[in-house]
Structure 1
């Protein structure tokens, strides 16, 4: 029986997927656990589901000897030591598409609210002021939206913005096919200089750390708006505060922060708090009922396909082997060091134990190779032990064909 553990209140749609596949040994937790309790909870667990608050570092991964795969029920995978997972033969899956619409709608909504100065007007009415003026308030129609990072979410934002009558430009380090009437910019500076609203949709990491800083903020048009629903490390918050304080920017909407509270009762620490022209949201870009249901289903399906067939299509850290129906009595999943002679050694070892290889699928990624072998012949514990003890092996499991 495959043991599964899900943390952080993952949507029930995931449970429905597991149950439909006959994987019923599922334990759920409403929140993340401290490291010591987490390591204890992972004993004997083969499939693990987490969101953003559960951190799987080298220590946790090394202690989870039974762990076969991790599902991040979100877009980001920064909370997982991906290299350690790969070197231990553990593929990591995520949900790169399921919350696209939710984030895009939030960005468009914030764009319209900030162009109309709604956050400030709302605050003033609550405090007894009837400030009925059109000063500084604009329609979205005819304005230029600059999208930094034209991936799944960025391109969807562009489609919605065009429907609202906006002109769309984008900048991406990779060549991307424009959707609708969007136009590419050759540099970030070129985009910032012409955009009335700038929205960020780039991954985290060193390459994007503080790409919006005092210098790049100075390129933006006076009175422009900045929206960040990507990663908290992308924006220098102090520099943004200064740009808003000096009225160089007219507003901002920030959903992600360099350092975020650990729980719902812990306050956010940020110099942007109290600024009436800033929308602050608690990392909820993808937090809609629709997106959470879709994420639960998408990631659970990837984990099920891996558990039942060994396919790793969609893994972010692992050689991707697509799904194929089983062609033999037993399917052997072999993760090995990507070195010359690895496949020859594996085939020879199987032959010595009387196994006939019906079909093999091999993919490599960096130092790791992953091969799915459909075989005929008796695959007993002695055979599996021999495969696991070979010096080339990182991990080896078997799946009986049905």
Structure 2
């Protein structure tokens, strides 16, 4: 990043890919960031690099891949923050972004309600055989029958993973008269009349409907295989709206064909098409008692607006104030504006002695330090210095230059606050 170049808010270049909600553009505009380009879809590598050139912040969803080669490309040299306008961040090489001094923000909870509603919809459609009966009707077949169709009222739903989404599914399911049990690796207080069980095996043996709401971790990879599905009640149902690698789809397909399970609903898959023009392939294709949806759990207008506002807000707070709360790959520092201060940000490799060298630099100048903040991860350190503008304005550029020479430094930034506390961004 070029040292000493001044950028006011309206000069900060922001590029949003993949049809991110207009709500994000509105939030940026309200904060004074008006140089925003909104692209309707994901782009190829060459276009991505062209759009990255000169960009300070970018927003992506799940299809844009920010791998090491992209992040380390000259086109990304000015990039200082990435917003993932979705839950997942697997599309970004997070360690490389961190070592480039680029925090990555996401929206882990903004689509919670949308996913929970889809799960309840899937539950009703499976237990009423809506999907196979609809397909038959499209083939001009009239299969009016109560055979194999059930009310959800009085049935037991077992929720694996009682986080933000799982707990909302719990509330909605109970409102429909279902009994709710849940399993989580942590002890969680129940909402309503839900009951936590002590093992996943107990849940699988008890529930009429099993709904998965776990993150993608080494521990959850293929956690629902043939052995686990065999523990489920005969004639029960499975829903996966969490992560694609949580379920062994071959085992699920066999359980459907053998009628061990009466139905399943799957919204996420181990391998998903890179675009809407690519063919979808899965062992579950053609099984009419399986509802297949194209990863649309959070794909509602309400969720996309919420995500747009949340992630845009996080990017603004970082760009304006240096706040990294909500970054998935960075030390978390929660900061607001400080009127009449000059704020220095120092991002460095987390190694012994860096803070001492920073303080040595500051101590060599007769300035009034109003505040100092330090947070670290295993690999990255983040120091924020607030300097009294009345006494340090003439020296701060020299101080920043010297801080940039501290061994282990990744990046420095300078933020200047006016009397109203509104920051101008300098690089």
TM-score > 0.5 by shorter chain: yes
8 Å CA contact retained: 2:112, 2:164: yes
Q: What is the distance in 2 between the residues matched to 1:146 and 1:311?
A: 39
Q: Give the deviation of 1:329 after TM superposition.
A: 2.3
1:165 corresponds to which residue?
Answer: 177
Using the size of structure 1 for normalisation, the TM-score is 0.97
Q: What is the distance in 2 between the residues matched to 1:4 and 1:349?
A: 33
Cα 1:363/1:200, change in 2 over 3 Å: same
1:117 corresponds to which residue?
Answer: 129
Three-state SS of the structure 2 residue aligned to 1:114 is helix
1:128 corresponds to which residue?
Answer: 140
8 Å CA contact retained: 1:85, 1:91: yes
Q: What is the distance in 2 between the residues matched to 1:173 and 1:85?
A: 30
Q: Give the deviation of 1:265 after TM superposition.
A: 2.1
Query: Residue 336 in 1 paired to residue 348 in 2?
Result: yes
Cα 1:89/1:175, change in 2 over 3 Å: farther
Q: What is the distance in 2 between the residues matched to 1:355 and 1:131?
A: 82
Counterpart of 1:395 (choices 411, 416, 421) is 411
Per mean C-alpha deviation after superposition, the further-off stretch among 354-363 and 366-375 is 354-363
Three-state SS of the structure 1 residue aligned to 2:338 is coil
Q: CA RMSD in A?
A: 1.4
Cα 1:191/1:291, change in 2 over 3 Å: same
Query: Residue 282 in 1 paired to residue 298 in 2?
Result: no
Q: Give the deviation of 1:367 after TM superposition.
A: 1.8
Query: Residue 316 in 1 paired to residue 311 in 2?
Result: no
8 Å CA contact retained: 2:354, 2:406: no
8 Å CA contact retained: 1:362, 1:369: yes
Per mean C-alpha deviation after superposition, the further-off stretch among 21-30 and 155-164 is 21-30
Q: Give the deviation of 1:98 after TM superposition.
A: 0.9
Q: Equivalences for 1:3-402 in 2 at 5 Å?
A: 3-63=13-73, 64-326=76-338, 328-376=340-388, 377-378=392-393, 379=395, 381-402=397-418
Q: What runs of 5+ residues in structure 1 fail to find an aligned partner?
A: none
Per mean C-alpha deviation after superposition, the further-off stretch among 14-23 and 178-187 is 178-187
Which 4+ residue blocks in structure 1 deviate beyond 6 angstroms?
none
Three-state SS of the structure 1 residue aligned to 2:72 is helix
Three-state SS of the structure 2 residue aligned to 1:208 is coil
Q: Give the deviation of 1:259 after TM superposition.
A: 0.9
- Render the CA deviation track for 1:75-101: whole Å, top value 9, x for unaligned: 111111111112222111111111100
Q: Give the deviation of 1:39 after TM superposition.
A: 2.5
Per mean C-alpha deviation after superposition, the further-off stretch among 253-262 and 172-181 is 172-181
Q: What runs of 5+ residues in structure 2 fail to find an aligned partner?
A: 1-10, 419-427
8 Å CA contact retained: 1:192, 1:198: yes
